[in-house]
């Protein structure tokens, strides 16, 4: 191509996400007319070590949740900083933006501002190269693309559902699926089965932020039983065809050095919390557990991981897609998998580095959406590009989730990408895990 593929203009605006809250959308246009657009997601259950999301704090404007400052930072600072840069040098552009901010957590310009631009740059580069986004990202990361195994919310509590249940999410992994499209169909069957079972029992079928059903059970065991019943009602064998993943989000339960589970009516020490979650994993077909303990409870994380060596132990708040936090977890043997969230890191290249650090240590990687999403499908391409093996989007409900599931169906049509299946799950032998 004769074009220099340099950035000609950058423009941002405030739009609304799936919770009706403002977020940043950025457009990047190149000197040859190629164009990229991307939107920053936002989380409800956030780790304290995440990159900083900049909000206006003006109560007269979206109850203080506006992002006009972040938008202005794109239009007035980042645009001039990266104008004229080659769109093909993602790392250099991301470095310029980080340097322009000048803080480790991107608190001045805002990680939501920086990330929206970083993603839009990658989208513009893919259009310039006339390749699918996942191909461009795989070239950036020097990875081999594959179709991911979906990990999908069926029942939800915690910060995603007004604390209706102590544990945040009860998810399904279709471990018996032989393709992505088969996995998605199995998930849909289980989601429908759960809805029918709940209606038959007179339970509420209200939806949580990510589309999971929110029955408001007091005890986690009740949710686990419903998960197993939903598998069986859908004609699937628990453990062989469908398995359970838990997102405990334990940092949300941690207060005054104790874990307070209101629904259970119990207060646990770190060791007792670990035993409580271990007992659930022992009695049900659980193959993955996310954030079973607080983000700073390193000793109990290590103990927990040693008790369940063949189960996937995922660090989310623990690692926050941060290379240094992941390295600490590797050194302390605190987990064996990392959740990968773009907005925790703040840039595309930083997210690629975090994923590479985890995978180099033999950790599994799970590319994840946030509770506040848009119709942007970037993470679908990212999960494929990085060969992450797993993706966590949310339930098969609501357009901001389905846009990503459907994008993966279109990518699968290429017909040349292998399906990760259970191989992407750490300790993927279900029999051993349970």
Residue 337: beta bridge partners?
314, 364
Best CA proximity match to 269, nearest among 281, 283, 255:
255
What end-to-end distance do the CA atoms of the chain give, in Å?
54
Give the contacts of 278 (CB within 8 A, at least 6 positions apart).
304, 307, 308
CA pair distance 272, 265, nearest whole angstrom: 14
Residue 14: beta bridge partners?
24
Give SS3 for 328: helix
Query: What pairing do the DSSP bridges indicate for beta strands 389-392 and 364-368?
Result: parallel
Contact 426, 361 (CB under 8 A): no
Q: 3-state DSSP helix/strand/coil percent for the chain, to nearest 5?
A: 40, 20, 40
Which residues are designated catalytic? Answer: 210, 341
Residue 225: beta bridge partners?
none
Contact 372, 17 (CB under 8 A): yes
Measure the CA dihedral 5/7/13/19, to 10°.
50
Query: Can you read off the two tokens belonging to residue 327?
Result: 């390295």
DSSP annotation string for 271-321: HHHHHHHHHHHHHTTEEEEE--S-TT-HHHHHHHHHH-TTSEEEESTTTTT
Residue 286: beta bridge partners?
244
CA pair distance 173, 288, nearest whole angstrom: 9
* Lookup result for tokens 């049900």: 284
């Amino acid at each position: 191509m004769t074009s220099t593929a340099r950035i000609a203009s950058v423009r941002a605006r405030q739009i609304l996400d799936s919770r009706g809250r403002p977020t940043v959308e950025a457009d990047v246009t190149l000197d040859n007319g190629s164009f990229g657009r991307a939107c920053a997601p936002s989380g409800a259950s956030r780790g304290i070590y995440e990159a900083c999301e900049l909000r206006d704090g003006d109560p007269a404007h979206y109850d203080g949740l506006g992002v006009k400052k972040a938008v202005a930072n794109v239009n007035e600072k980042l645009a001039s900083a990266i104008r004229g840069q080659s769109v093909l040098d993602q790392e250099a552009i991301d470095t310029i933006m980080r340097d322009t901010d000048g803080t480790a957590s991107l608190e001045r310009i805002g990680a939501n501002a920086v990330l929206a631009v970083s993603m839009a740059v990658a989208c513009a580069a893919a259009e310039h190269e006339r390749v699918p986004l996942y191909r461009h990202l795989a070239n950036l990361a020097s990875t081999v693309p594959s179709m991911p195994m979906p990990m999908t919310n069926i029942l939800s509590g915690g910060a995603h559902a007004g604390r209706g249940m102590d544990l945040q999410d009860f998810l399904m992994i279709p471990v018996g699926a032989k393709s992505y499209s088969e996995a998605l169909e199995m998930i849909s069957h289980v989601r429908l089965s759960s809805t029918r079972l709940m209606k038959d029992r007179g339970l509420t079928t209200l939806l949580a932020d990510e589309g999971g059903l929110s029955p408001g059970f007091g005890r986690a065991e009740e949710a686990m039983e419903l998960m197993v019943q939903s598998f069986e009602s859908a004609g699937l064998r628990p453990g062989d065809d469908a398995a359970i993943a838990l997102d405990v989000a334990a940092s949300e339960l941690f207060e005054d050095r104790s874990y307070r589970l209101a629904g259970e009516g119990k207060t646990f020490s770190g060791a007792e919390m670990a035993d409580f979650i271990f007992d659930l994993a022992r009695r049900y077909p659980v193959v993955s557990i996310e954030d079973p303990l607080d983000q700073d409870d390193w000793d109990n994380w290590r103990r927990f991981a040693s008790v369940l060596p063949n189960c996937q132990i995922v660090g989310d708040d623990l690692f926050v897609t941060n290379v240094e936090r992941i390295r600490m977890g590797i050194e302390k043997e605190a987990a064996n998998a990392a959740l990968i969230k773009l907005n925790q890191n703040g840039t595309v290249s930083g997210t690629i580095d975090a994923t590479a650090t985890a995978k180099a240590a033999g950790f599994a990687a799970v590319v994840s959406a946030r509770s506040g999403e848009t119709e942007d499908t970037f993470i679908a391409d990212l999960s494929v590009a990085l060969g992450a093996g797993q993706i966590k989007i949310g339930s098969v409900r609501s357009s901001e989730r389905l846009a990503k599931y459907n994008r993966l169906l279109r990518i699968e049509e290429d017909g040349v990408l292998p399906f990760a299946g259970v191989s992407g799950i750490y300790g993927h032998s279900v029999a051993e895990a349970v």
